[in-house]
Copies of this chain bind each other. A is one copy, B any other.
Amino acid sequence: MDTTKTERFNKGWDKLKEIDGQAGVNVIESLKDVSPDLAKYTIEYPFGDVYSRDILDNRTKEIAVVAALAAMGNVEPQLKVHINAALNVGVTSEEISEIMILMSVYAGFPSALNGTLALKDVLKERASQD
């Protein structure tokens, strides 16, 4: 039983590192002392179950998630993690800008501007890490 939980966990942990890289690992680390169970669930359900599905490819998944988080407008840390993830799996920064332009229509210009500035921040951070 515990062993199989470990299977979803292990699959999730690998998926999280593949897609979110160090930013994702940092999120999990930050949770470990205050809520180890939420850390475990975050690995198991979003990554072990959902991200491990293969009907949508990684690019498509991240495009959908970046659009959703930008539209919600109240989860900036996660938006930045997923802008990073999108760039990691081959979405270009031009395509992410394009998603934000779409969001100006559906969630309004403020969310589109804030999403675009989040992209700008992520690009700057990535440039400084090269």
Is residue A22 within 8 Å, beta carbon to beta carbon, of the partner chain? Answer: no
CB-CB under 8 A for A55 and B108, given A71-B68, A101-B50: no
Q: List residues of chain B with CB within 8 A of the CB of A50.
A: 41, 101-102, 104-105
Chain copies in the assembly? Answer: 6
Partner of A113, one of B42, B53, B72, B102: B42
Contact B106 A109 (CB under 8 A): yes
Interface residues on chain A, number (Cβ under 8 Å):
65
Query: For the complex, what is the distance from the CA of A75 to the CA of B113, rounded to whole Å?
Result: 10
Question: Does A10 belong to the interface (CB within 8 Å)?
Answer: no
Would you list which residues of chain A between 71 and 96 have a CB under 8 Å from chain B? 71-75, 77-78, 93-95
